[in-house]
Amino acid sequence: MLTKRIISCLDIKDGRVVKGTKFLNLKDAGDPVELAKYYNKEGADELCFLDITASHEERKTIISIVEAVANEIFIPFTVGGGISSTKQMKDILRAGADKITINSSAIKNPELITEGAAKFGSQCIVLAIDAKYNGRKKTWEAYIKGGRENTNLDAIEWAKKGVSLGAGEILLTSMDSDGTKNGYDIELTKQVVESVNVPVIASGGAGKIKHIIEVFHETGCDAALLASLLHYKDLTINQIKEKMEEEELPVRLTEV
């Protein structure tokens, strides 16, 4: 059985790591290179770097920071934000990323998923979906531009389409749960996991170890993405992984 992954996430704005609640009220959380080094040492299974204002500001991801982070870590490294061409993908992979995540650009140009998968392999293309519940329609809808724009696309149907186009992984963020520390959106995550045949990363809402255990046990997701919980030292990766082992979840324990 594949091990369940703990992924540290660096949301980047103006060259700094930030964290907010429901994509709003962003606060400084530190230097990306220093935090990356720390998470690499602490035993994160992967690192995810998201330039969260690049699409909204219609600019490219900050390559210099990607390179600086890549030089300091020895774990898989995923980068996203403002990537809208295979040339940009190539530049970011050359800067040291292992995987590319796309969101806004994939919705505007779904063929980008197929082109990226053909050039770099499906395992390299992560489709990021920022989903928010619509109580009237009783479904989740996909948002773009850092959560600023509703596409009115059904998030679960879009996940299925993205995988059919070549995405090798889904990074699923619940906008309703993001930064609340009240737990992941179990129902949303479960529905996406059951709808696709690629790994799903659950994101948004972790506040306690029990939330991480719960999302793995109840949804079958492959990885849990964590940000503020780790940035502010509420928990260590080691504490999380020891609890995962207790709960008989397959996990790569941190070597001390």
The residues annotated as belonging to the active site are 11, 130
Angle at 55 between CA 132 and CA 163, to 5 degrees: 60
Under 8 Å between Cβ of 169 and 223: no
Amino acid at 143: Y
**Residue found by looking up tokens 């972790």 in the block:** 206
Show the tokens assigned to 90.
């190539």
**Residue found by looking up tokens 């529905």 in the block:** 191
Show the tokens assigned to 15.
């060259």
User: What is the residue-wise DSSP string for 100-136?
Assistant: EEESHHHHH-THHHHHHHHHH-GGGEEEEEEEEEETT
Show the tokens assigned to 17.
């790591």
Amino acid at 18: V
| DSSP state, residue 162 | H
Q: Rounded to whole angstroms, how far apart are CA atoms 24 and 87?
A: 31
Q: Which residues contact 226 (CB under 8 A, 6 or more apart)?
A: 6, 7, 8, 9, 206, 212, 240
Enclosing H/E stretch for 189: helix 186-195
| DSSP state, residue 85 | S
Show the tokens assigned to 60.
């490219």
Show the tokens assigned to 197.
């045949």
